[in-house]
Amino acid sequence: MADDDITKPKRQIEISADGPYTVTGDIPLIKKVQVVSEMGEPLTWKKQVVIETTSEYCLCRCGHSEDKPFCDGSHNLVDWDATERAPTGPSEHRRAELLKGTQLTVHFDLDLCTESGFCGNRNFSLLEGALDTDDIENRTLTIHMVEHCPSGALTYQLAGDQADVEADLPEQIAVTTEITSEGPIEGPLWVTGGIPVIRSDGQPLETRNRVTLCSCGLSKIKPLCDGCHRENNGKQI
């Protein structure tokens, strides 16, 4: 092992008490925007730009920074609730079986849901359990929807497998933009690739392939996003 590998900071996100997310290990930071249908239904994500960073940087958690996505110290000047209430146990202990077919089983963890809208369209909703996953076209659509769920609240297993199938996502943080009927709004920070997230008390959250972190300061399950940024149409971009 090379010396620089030994001294290189570990890739992780640490939460500061009443403060920002401290990102170490030279984790790439990008911008992504939702791609929606003509009916406003989320379809996929589109990469926009790479944001220049140093090997360590701090991201806003209170939602008031004038230099977003970076922290500018505004958390010290505003009244906000920084309490971390997100579950720390394994998602597999909480999730429920949503759809089950001979080829595919879909699970749903309500505690992780951000209501991002990738789980349905005008014809059907995965959450209503109305899709026949034994049909190849339906099964393909189901997999597409599940893999584009940013929070990982939706997961799937193929028949005969014990472990979830996960999309091959890079180690990176995406500053997301959601497209609504009122225009684009700021979305959560989308962390992918199994990057550890450490609470301010030193306790780690479950390390997962997909995690959405609150960046508006309103979530009731901080540090995770719960969709509260959409209140009052969210912060327009």
Most distant pair of Cα atoms in the chain: their distance: 56
Number of domains in the chain: 1
Q: Give the per-residue pLDDT at 3.
A: 52
pLDDT digits 0-9 by tens, 80-131: 999 999 999 999 999 999 888 889 999 999 999 999 999 988 888 888 876 7
Residue 98 lies in domain: 1-237
pLDDT score at 134: 86
What are 174-214's pLDDT values in tens digits?
A: 999 999 988 999 999 999 999 999 999 999 999 999 999 99
Query: pTM, whole model, 2 decimals?
Result: 0.92
Q: How far is CA 72 from CA 60, 69, 77, 150, 175, in A?
A: 8, 9, 10, 26, 16
Residue 49 binned pLDDT confidence (cut-offs 50, 70, 90): very high
Cβ-Cβ contacts under 8 Å for 148 (sequence gap 6 or more): 42, 43, 44, 45, 118
Residue indicated by tokens 């009916």: 39
Cα torsion 13, 16, 21, 24: sign: negative
- Rounded distance, CA 19 to CA 76, Å? 8
pLDDT of residue 4: 53
CA distance 11 to 162: 28
